[in-house]
Structure 1
C-alpha cells in the first residue's frame, strides 16, 4: 500500500506574522498558480481557510471553482484574534495573537460555530477538516470540533515543543507535542496525545529528526531551544525536518519523501501558507525571485511524489483510514 501524500495550505491573510492591525488578502490571487501545479501532478490539496480570507471575493470564487471540479477540499483554519465573535483578551490582540485555547470555553465554541457556518455558506459543502491557528489544540478544543461534525484535525506537530511561544500573556501557554504520536490516530478526547475512540482522526504534521554535527549539537544544548541564540542555531542547523519548503531544503524534502516510500509510512503531510506564495506576503519569501525558487522546489517535490504515493485530501484520508472498534465511519 502506498503512503498517502496530503497537501495542506493554511489560507490566511497577508503576512500574519506582522503586528499590523490591518488585514489584506491579496495572496488569494496567487492560489490558482499553486493549484495548477497540484493538478499537473494529479495531487489533491486541502485548503484550510481562516476568517479574513473567507471574506475575500477572490478566494470565494477560487474555492467554489475547486469544489465544483472536485479537485480539492476546503477545511477550516481558525485565528482566534480575528474570528468573530470578537472578545479582546488584551489591548493588543493583533500583537499577542492569542490562541483559541486562551479564550473561555463558550467563546471557543461560538468561534468554531461561526467559522464553520461561514465556510459552509460560502462553499456549500460540509466542512470536516481543521488545523488550529498557531498549532494550538487541547482537549476542550477537540471536543468542540467533534460537536461541530469535524472528522479530521492536523494541528499536532510531533517532536516539537512550542515552549517560548506566547499567546495571551496570562493565558494557559503553548502545547508540548514532543512526545505525541507521529502517525495518524483517533484521539482520546480526555488526552489528545494518545489514541482513543473519538471520531476525530489526528493526522500529525510530518516532522522527522535530523542529525547534527557535534559542534551544532553542543551549541544548541548551551543556547536552549527558546532563546535568541537557540533560534539562530535552529535556523542554520535545525534539529528536525518539516515537510514544509523554506527555500533552502529541497534536497531534504526529497530525502524525506524517499524515506517514507522505503519505510512504508502511512502518510506524508506537506504544508505551506497561502501568503508564502506571494512576494512580500511573508517574512520568508519577500521577493519575486525567492517565490520563483519556492515554486521550483515544490515542482521538484510534487514531480517525485506523483508516483509511488496516493494523493488524497484530509477527509479522503480519514474516510479510508482503518476504523477501530467503537468508531463509526460516516
Structure 2
C-alpha cells in the first residue's frame, strides 16, 4: 500500500502547501423503484434499503451525497432516513430531477412515463418551475439549502446550467466524459440527448454559455469518473468489424466495452479498483462513484433483480471502498467543491450565488 499512499500524497496540496489525499466522492441518485421500466405507477420502496448502504459508508469513513428526486423527497421512509443522515453529519442531500414526475406536470407525450422526457425538452419557464419544486421540497423537508445536483438521465445544457446557478446550486455532476447519449430518446421532437465525448475529465467552473468549457460561474462541474478502454490490435479490429451492424455492435459492447465507469455493474470490481489506482498514480485529485438507490433493492432495477445479485453488488462495493478508504479522503460533493474553490483562490463570497426559488 505504500506506493499508493505516495501517489495519493503527490496528487495535490492544499492552499497552505500541506499534502492531502485525493477525494473519493460517492454520489447516489435517489429515485423511484425501477425508473427504467416505463411503468405509470411510482413506488419508493427502495428507501428502506438505504440504511444498509449508509452503514457501509460509515464503516469506511466515506460520506455519500444523496441526490434526491421529488418522488423520494416526498417519501416518509426517505425523509426519516435523510434527516438521520444529516443529524449525524454522515452525508449530504442534494437534488436530482426526473422531469416526468416532478411538478408542475405538463404532459409532452401521450405516455411521458414511457418516453421519460428530459428536462431540456420543456420550455425554459417550465424547466425553472420544476427546479424550483425540486429545490423547495428539499429545503422544506430537511431544512437545508441544497447546493449539489445531478440531472435526470444525465441531460444538462446551457439553459439548465443557468437555471441551477439562479437557484444557488454550486456543484453539478451530470457530465459523462467520453460518452454520447445520442442513441437515447426523450420526448419525440424534443431537443435530444447530449454528446459529452469532447468534455473535460477534470472538474471546472462552468461557462453557462458553453457547457464544455471553463468560465466564471459559481457552478463547479465534477464530471463522472469514466476512462476509455484500450485493447490490443486484434480486439480493436474485431470491434471495428462488429460495429457495422446493430445486434453485433451491442454484443461487441458487452464483450469489449469502450469505457470503464466508477459505477458497479456486477462484473467490473477489478475495473473500478484499477480506475481508482490509476487516478492515484496520475495525480488526479478526485474520483466519483455513482449508483442508483433502487439498485440496492432486489428487483429495483434491471441490473440487480435478485437477492443474490444485490449481495454480490455489496461485495463489489465493499472491495472498492476498502481499497479507497486509505489513500483517498471521503468528501461529499459540496465538501469537494469548497476545497476546489479554495485551491482556485476564490473568496468565500464568490461561492455563494443568489438563491431564487420563486
**Match of residue 86, structure 2, among 67, 83, 88:** 67
2:11 corresponds to: none
User: Could you say if the C-alpha distance between residues 118 and 69 of structure 1 is closer, same or farther in structure 2, counting changes exceeding 3 Å?
Assistant: same
SS in 1 for 2:311: helix
Structure 2 distance, partners of 1:22, 1:57, is 17
- Say if 2:348 is the partner of 1:329: no
Gaps of 5+ in 2: 1-19, 353-358
CA contact (8 A) 2:33 2:42 kept: yes
Show CA shifts across 1:15-42 (max 9, x none). 1000110011111000000000000000
Q: After superposition, where does 1:284-295 map in structure 2 within 5 Å?
A: 284-295=303-314
- Say if 2:2 is the partner of 1:2: no
Q: Deviation at 1:51?
A: 1.2
Structure 1 distance, partners of 2:245, 2:78, is 36
Q: Deviation at 1:228?
A: 4.0
Normalising by structure 2, report the TM-score: 0.89
Count of residue correspondences: 330
Gaps of 5+ in 1: none
Q: Deviation at 1:224?
A: 4.2
1:21 corresponds to: 40
Structure 1 distance, partners of 2:287, 2:230, is 20
**Match of residue 99, structure 2, among 74, 77, 80:** 80
User: Could you say if the C-alpha distance between residues 138 and 61 of structure 1 is closer, same or farther in structure 2, counting changes exceeding 3 Å?
Assistant: same
Show CA shifts across 1:74-99 (max 9, x none). 00000001100000100011111010
Structure 2 distance, partners of 1:310, 1:226, is 44
1:278 corresponds to: 297
Normalising by structure 1, report the TM-score: 0.97
1:259 corresponds to: 278
Over aligned residue pairs, what C-alpha RMSD do you find?
1.5
Structure 1 distance, partners of 2:240, 2:191, is 26
Q: After superposition, where does 1:117-196 map in structure 2 within 5 Å?
A: 117-196=136-215
Show CA shifts across 1:181-206 (max 9, x none). 00000000100100000000000000
Moved over 2 A (4+): 212-232, 322-327
Structure 1 distance, partners of 2:336, 2:101, is 29
1:320 corresponds to: 339
CA contact (8 A) 2:243 2:252 kept: no
Show CA shifts across 1:80-121 (max 9, x none). 011000001000111110100000000000000011001111
Whose Rg is larger? 2
User: Could you say if the C-alpha distance between residues 325 and 286 of structure 1 is closer, same or farther in structure 2, counting changes exceeding 3 Å?
Assistant: closer
Show CA shifts across 1:16-71 (max 9, x none). 00011001111100000000000000001000001111111000000000011111
Q: Deviation at 1:227?
A: 3.6
CA contact (8 A) 1:25 1:53 kept: yes
CA contact (8 A) 1:158 1:177 kept: yes
Q: Deviation at 1:165?
A: 0.6
SS in 1 for 2:83: helix
Structure 2 distance, partners of 1:289, 1:172, is 40
1:106 corresponds to: 125
Residue range with higher mean Cα deviation, 257-266 or 132-141: 257-266
User: Could you say if the C-alpha distance between residues 295 and 211 of structure 1 is closer, same or farther in structure 2, counting changes exceeding 3 Å?
Assistant: same
Structure 2 distance, partners of 1:317, 1:57, is 29
